[in-house]
């Protein structure tokens, strides 16, 4: 691991802004780390070395001329490859987007550049973000940084692994059913999904539009807050973007949890592996020790989430992915007429999981089935939102596991989609409700691999959520310190 | 037309037993500066694929943002058609087509912005409006090959300039009973759309497109017959011909013991017939679902009022205004004149001329007969100029013939002073005394004809009028000559 990239984004940006470090040196260090480690990890699908060095030089030039280079000055960042980057390939890990270079930057990418961050490359994902292990990539899987035989989680596994392996201080992913939080938990980094509408989706290649949110990966809660503050805020290019300023995620990190009402949610704990469950209980105990009012709470509607999700997400995906028809961009497989060309292109261009979800979604929206499937799933979604509203009347945040298990072995769940779908059972409810949620590393499981604890909060309560996350981070560090001391003794 | 068509047509025309039932779907492009969901120019006739961006090309990651002016124009249309303007939402209509960039169309489905109105036609009939909703247009495919026909094409070119252009689809009730009424409906609707400022009404440029749902039933039957939807109606002429053909086809089918199959048919303008496009079984399952990239649309009362206030004078109001100038019940001929003038957009000119003192009856006649001959020039004419000319004629300073000649000159020159042109042409109406002298000279020169005329042979009035006209070089007024002849004969 390279010490240069191992430092926090906050410290690095501070050093670059103060002229103590150059952005160029930080970016060169990240590129070197990627060159050294990525052949084994396969976190990156594309490394934009030349563009990154040029951007870094621009940041350094800004510093030299005395202008403000922005809050992320010189910080290398990895982007999930479903975020559009002008002139840089954007593939969604799908053959169907082979060779496509977007003519525009996603809003988050533009905001990152404006803040002085430097995009070093595009990271691996499950094709079109459909999966929980980053195995559904046309370019092959990403490996877990702590155990190459395991998956990093998914679908944003590339960004999670890149941050966990300290190739870069920051990464961006997208979270439709847990695709930021679950790999963050498995890789042992911080990952969060904002309230729906807090971060612009413009330039995020859509999977399920009503569920998709872009979220940050970082190795600390403070860094995640900094990144969220940069990418969040109203965007007129996204009609679902909320017309309000970015949340002050980093404002209350030191405020503690004294008097906060925390509900440990049965449904987000009960069905998890015993070692994962134990960590969540410990986290709750630590919060209570820090003054939080902790209680057990049941939100039965959460159990309906998975089924509703697997109707709504594929339904929207079936429509969102219709445009990959071979007519305008990406792959085209020639055939005698347009319809045959469409079929040949889509047959060759999409992987099996994407095809499975397109078929599921097409079926769910079909005439005569709409009410029974899509319509009913939407009603379940409303039930779930009401259930959350109800518990948040007397609770400030909810606590649970992020994923039911620690990182599993590559190949272990590929043949069994339903078991794979279960990986997202704890994260999906927040996508359906549109509420914010984040995963904080909290110790390890019996296998020594990271466990993530999830904090859920009401809509637009990112600041409170980060406040609790920061307390958990301190508690986890305290436990680790105690263990180290024990070990040393 | 085939023998079948002719026979069936006779059944429709002669037999009282069949009735044609038509409902129309009219797509009108809205005259916005930019497209419905992006900032690209909304313009007809530009170089292909120059008015495009990631949004209207449906590039991965792009998102739609609703154009508020399009919403305003849609509300104006709804208000003009007496619809209820309501909170609405957008859906996705999913089907694959190369000129549709996202392979779905963003349209309004179960919650359209305008519902339940009506349009009163100039003949007094009223056609119900089911809905008038917002949606986006597709691109345009041109099939390239020797014949220009789809199936024989070597390849196709797609122009996405039109993709994302705002449309309002106006769906009528099946209240229309003939091809003529369908044409009248589209003509009146077109005028309403132009009056609201929503459309330029140019059918030839495709900014107004019509699909017709046609069925037939026996007169007196309660239930509607099975309908066919006719597409590719690019002109009023096509619309009328297609409905007549299709009704005849259906009658012939039913009379020969067959049944009409619900299907979509294509109007072949060249062959003059409709041909099957796809059957009900082949119809797309559009898999409508709420568009998650857009939020519900709920214009407040203030915005609705602003939209309503921006509507220009509607054609029915224009007709009333023009007819009102006449000052008494208009004759059937004048009713026709009023319709024609409003249809041609000449009513503002006539109203202004009358406002400045020109007599309404004469202004109507001159406008209908002379102005209509050169519409573009007439629409550019200064109303005051036209008013002065009509006044001169009314006061007898110009004869009808002279007035027409001066008006022609005004139109050709793009304006001018009517009095100066009349003087230049030597058009000075004869004074009463000099006309009397000329008439007397003519009578003296033709004693035999005068005797017969005096004996009651009225048709000789024409002979004398011609003689007087010749003698005066056309300066005399026909009516004045007749009056003088009458006076002498007495």
Query: Which residue, of B424, B459, B475, is where some domain finishes?
Result: B424
Domain assignment present for residue A460? The answer is: no
Are B7 and B87 part of one and the same domain?
A: yes
Lowest mean pLDDT among A312-326, B103-117, B395-409: B395-409
Are B102 and A322 in contact (CB < 8 Å)?
yes
Are A325 and B96 in contact (CB < 8 Å)?
yes
Query: Which residue, of A256, A287, A305, is where some domain finishes?
Result: A256
Give the distance from residue B74's alpha carbon to the nearest chain A alpha carbon, in angstroms: 20
* Option in B61, B103, B295 nearest A102 (CB): B61
- Specify the higher pLDDT residue, B456 or B92: B92
Annotated catalytic residue A174: no
Residue of A320, A334, A369, A376 to mutate when probing chain B, most B C-beta within 10 A: A320
Residue B8 pLDDT more than 60? no
- Tally Cβ neighbours within 10 Å of residue A325: 26
Are B141 and B247 part of one and the same domain?
A: yes
Torsion of CA B396, B398, B399, B404, to 10 degrees: -140
Torsion of CA A118, A119, A120, A123, to 10 degrees: 150
| pLDDT tens string A32-86 | 999 999 999 999 999 999 999 999 999 999 999 999 999 999 999 999 999 999 9
Are B169 and B298 part of one and the same domain?
A: yes
| pLDDT tens string A231-290 | 999 999 999 999 999 999 999 999 999 999 999 999 999 989 999 999 999 999 999 999
Looking at residue A385, which CATH number applies to its domain?
A: 3.90.1300.10
Are A246 and A350 part of one and the same domain?
A: no
Domain assignment present for residue A304? The answer is: yes
Residue A464 pLDDT more than 60? yes
* Option in B98, B104, B292 nearest A322 (CB): B104
Are B130 and B67 part of one and the same domain?
A: yes
pLDDT-derived band at B156 (thresholds 50, 70, 90) equals confident
How many beta-carbon contacts under 8 Å exist across A and B? 98
The number of folded domains in chain B is: 3
For position B1, what pLDDT does the model report? 37
Are A302 and A252 part of one and the same domain?
A: no
Taking contacts as CB-CB distances below 8 angstroms, the residues of chain B near A239 are 63-66, 293-295
Taking contacts as CB-CB distances below 8 angstroms, the residues of chain A near B98 are 325, 327, 338
Query: Which residue, of B408, B424, B440, is where some domain finishes?
Result: B424
Query: Which residue, of B388, B403, B424, is where some domain finishes?
Result: B424
Annotated catalytic residue A319: no
Structure tokens at A152: 């990093």
A124, A92 in Cβ contact below 8 A?
Answer: no
| pLDDT tens string A100-154 | 999 999 999 999 999 999 999 999 999 999 999 999 999 999 999 999 999 999 9
Let me know the angle formed at the C-alpha of B126 by B123 and B131, rounded to the nearest 5 degrees.
140
Are B91 and B69 part of one and the same domain?
A: yes
Please provide the average confidence, as pLDDT, over all residues in chain A: 96
Domain of B466, in residue numbers: 432-489
| pLDDT tens string A334-358 | 999 999 999 999 999 999 999 999 9
Global pTM reads: 0.89
Query: Which residue, of A236, A256, A276, is where some domain finishes?
Result: A256
Q: Which of residues 142-161 of B touch A (CB under 8 A)?
A: 156, 158
Please provide the average confidence, as pLDDT, over all residues in chain B: 90
Domain of A82, in residue numbers: 3-256
Query: Which residue, of A200, A222, A256, is where some domain finishes?
Result: A256
Structure tokens at B232: 């590719």
Are B383 and B455 part of one and the same domain?
A: no
Nearest CA in chain A to B290: A316
Are A239 and B104 in contact (CB < 8 Å)?
no
Q: Which of residues 459-488 of B touch A (CB under 8 A)?
A: none
- Region A199-209: mean pLDDT is 98
Q: Which residue from A439, A468, A443 is spatially nearest to A454, judged by alpha carbons?
A: A439
R_g (Cα) of chain A, nearest Å: 21
Are A246 and A266 part of one and the same domain?
A: no
Q: Give the start-end residues of each E strand in B12-136.
A: 18-29, 84-85, 91-94, 104-107, 114-120, 126-136
pLDDT-derived band at B477 (thresholds 50, 70, 90) equals confident
| pLDDT tens string B251-287 | 999 999 999 999 999 999 999 999 999 888 888 899 9
- Does the beta carbon of B94 lie under 8 angstroms from any beta carbon of chain A? yes
HSE-CB of A137 using CA atoms within 13 angstroms: 32
Phi, psi of A194 (to 5 degrees): -70, 170
The number of folded domains in chain A is: 2
Looking at residue B444, which CATH number applies to its domain?
A: 1.10.10
Are B472 and B336 part of one and the same domain?
A: no
* Option in A236, A319, A365 nearest B65 (CB): A236
- Region B9-18: mean pLDDT is 60
Are A146 and A44 part of one and the same domain?
A: yes
- Region B79-83: mean pLDDT is 98
Lowest mean pLDDT among B111-115, B261-265, B431-435: B431-435
Are B73 and B155 part of one and the same domain?
A: yes
Annotated catalytic residue A80: yes
C-alpha distances out from residue A467 to A54, A337, A447, A473, B316, Å? 37, 58, 29, 10, 66
Distance, in Å, from the CA atom of A476 to the CA atom of A480, rounded to the nearest integer, reads 6
For position B100, what pLDDT does the model report? 96
Are A217 and A285 part of one and the same domain?
A: no
- Region A452-460: mean pLDDT is 98
- Specify the higher pLDDT residue, A483 or B58: B58
């Amino acid at each position: 691991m390279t010490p240069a990239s191992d430092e926090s984004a906050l410290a690095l940006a501070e050093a670059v802004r103060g002229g103590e470090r150059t952005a160029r040196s930080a970016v060169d260090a990240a590129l070197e780390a990627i060159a050294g480690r990525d052949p084994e990890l396969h976190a990156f699908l594309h490394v934009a070395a030349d563009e990154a060095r040029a951007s870094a030089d621009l940041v350094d030039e800004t510093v030299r001329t005395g202008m403000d280079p922005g809050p992320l000055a010189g910080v290398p960042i990895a982007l999930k490859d479903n975020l559009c980057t002008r002139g840089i390939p954007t593939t969604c890990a799908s053959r169907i987007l082979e060779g496509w270079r977007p003519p525009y930057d996603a809003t988050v990418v533009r905001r990152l550049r404006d803040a002085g961050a430097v995009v070093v490359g595009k990271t691996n994902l499950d094709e079109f973000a459909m999966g929980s292990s980053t195995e559904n990539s046309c370019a092959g899987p990403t490996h877990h940084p702590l155990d190459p035989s395991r998956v990093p989680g998914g679908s944003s596994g590339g960004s999670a692994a890149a941050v966990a392996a300290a190739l870069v201080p920051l990464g961006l992913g997208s979270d439709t059913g847990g695709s930021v939080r679950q790999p963050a938990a498995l890789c042992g980094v911080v990952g969060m999904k904002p309230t729906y509408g807090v971060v612009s989706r413009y330039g995020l290649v859509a999977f399920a539009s009503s569920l998709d949110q872009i979220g940050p990966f970082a190795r600390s809660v403070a860094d995640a807050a900094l990144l969220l503050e940069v990418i969040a805020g109203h965007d007129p290019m996204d009609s679902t973007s909320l017309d309000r300023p970015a949340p002050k995620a980093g404002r209350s990190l030191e405020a503690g949890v004294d008097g906060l009402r925390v509900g440990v949610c049965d449904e987000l704990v009960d069905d998890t592996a015993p070692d994962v469950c134990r960590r969540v209980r410990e986290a709750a105990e630590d919060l209570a020790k820090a003054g939080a009012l902790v209680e057990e709470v049941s939100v039965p509607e959460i159990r309906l989430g998975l089924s509703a999700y697997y109707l709504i997400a594929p339904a929207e995906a079936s429509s969102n992915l219709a445009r990959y028809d071979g007519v305008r961009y990406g792959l085209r497989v020639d055939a005698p007429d347009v319809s045959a060309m469409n079929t040949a292109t889509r047959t060759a261009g999409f992987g099996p999981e994407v095809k499975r979800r397109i078929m599921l979604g097409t079926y769910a929206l079909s005439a005569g089935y709409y009410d029974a499937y899509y319509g009913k799933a939407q009603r379940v979604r409303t039930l779930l939102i009401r259930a959350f509203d109800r518990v948040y009347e007397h609770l400030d945040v909810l606590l649970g596991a992020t994923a039911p298990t620690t990182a599993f072995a590559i190949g272990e769940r590929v043949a069994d989609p339903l078991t794979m779908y279960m990986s997202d059972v704890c994260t999906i409810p927040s996508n359906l409700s549109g509420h914010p949620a984040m995963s904080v590393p909290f110790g390890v499981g019996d296998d020594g691999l990271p466990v993530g604890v999830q904090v859920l909060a009401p809509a637009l309560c990112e600041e409170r959520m980060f406040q609790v996350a920061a307390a958990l981070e301190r508690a986890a560090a305290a436990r680790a310190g105690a263990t180290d001391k024990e070990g040393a003794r | 037309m085939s023998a079948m068509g002719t026979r069936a047509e006779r059944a429709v025309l002669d037999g009282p037993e069949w009735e044609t039932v038509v409902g129309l779907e009219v797509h009108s492009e809205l005259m916005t500066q930019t497209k419905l969901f992006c900032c690209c120019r909304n313009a007809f006739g530009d170089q292909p694929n120059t008015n495009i961006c990631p949004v209207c090309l449906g590039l991965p990651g792009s998102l739609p943002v609703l154009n508020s002016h399009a919403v305003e124009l849609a509300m104006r249309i709804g208000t003009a058609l007496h619809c209820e303007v309501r909170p609405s939402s957008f859906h996705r209509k999913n089907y694959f087509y190369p000129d549709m960039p996202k392979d779905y169309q963003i349209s309004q489905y179960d919650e359209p912005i305008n519902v339940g109105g009506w349009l009163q036609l100039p003949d007094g009939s009223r056609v119900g409006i089911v809905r008038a909703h917002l949606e986006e247009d597709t691109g345009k495919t041109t099939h390239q090959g020797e014949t220009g026909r789809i199936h024989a094409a070597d390849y196709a070119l797609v122009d996405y300039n039109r993709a994302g252009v705002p449309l309002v689809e106006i769906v009528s009730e099946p209240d229309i009973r003939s091809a003529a009424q369908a044409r009248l409906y589209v003509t009146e609707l077109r005028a309403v759309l132009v009056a609201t400022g929503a459309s330029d009404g140019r059918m030839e440029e495709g900014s107004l497109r019509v699909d017709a749902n046609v069925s037939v039933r026996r007169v007196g039957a309660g239930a509607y017959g099975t309908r066919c939807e006719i597409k590719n109606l690019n002109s009023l002429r096509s619309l009328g011909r297609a409905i007549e053909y299709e009704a005849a086809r259906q009658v012939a089918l039913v009379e020969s013991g067959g049944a009409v199959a619900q299907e979509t048919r294509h109007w072949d303008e060249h062959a003059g017939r409709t041909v099957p496009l796809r059957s009900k079984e082949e119809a797309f399952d559009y898999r409508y679902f709420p568009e998650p990239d857009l939020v519900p649309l709920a214009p407040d009362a203030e915005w609705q009022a602003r939209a309503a206030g921006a509507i220009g004078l509607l054609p029915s109001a224009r007709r009333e205004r023009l007819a009102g100038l006449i000052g008494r019940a208009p004759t059937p001929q004048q009713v026709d004149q009023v319709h024609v003038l409003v249809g041609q957009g000449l009513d503002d000119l006539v109203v202004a001329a009358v406002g400045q003192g020109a007599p309404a009856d004469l202004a109507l006649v001159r406008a209908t007969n002379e102005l209509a001959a050169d519409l573009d020039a007439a629409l550019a004419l200064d109303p005051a100029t036209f008013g002065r000319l009509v006044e001169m004629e009314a006061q007898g300073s110009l004869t009808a013939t002279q007035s027409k000649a001066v008006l022609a000159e005004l139109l050709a020159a793009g304006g001018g002073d009517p009095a100066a042109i009349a003087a230049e042409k030597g058009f000075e109406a004869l004074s009463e005394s000099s006309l009397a002298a000329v008439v007397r000279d003519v009578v003296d020169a033709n004693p035999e004809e005068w005797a017969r005329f005096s004996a009651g042979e009225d048709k000789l009035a024409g002979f004398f009028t011609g003689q007087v006209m010749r003698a005066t070089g056309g300066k005399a007024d026909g009516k004045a000559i007749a009056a003088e002849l009458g006076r002498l004969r007495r």
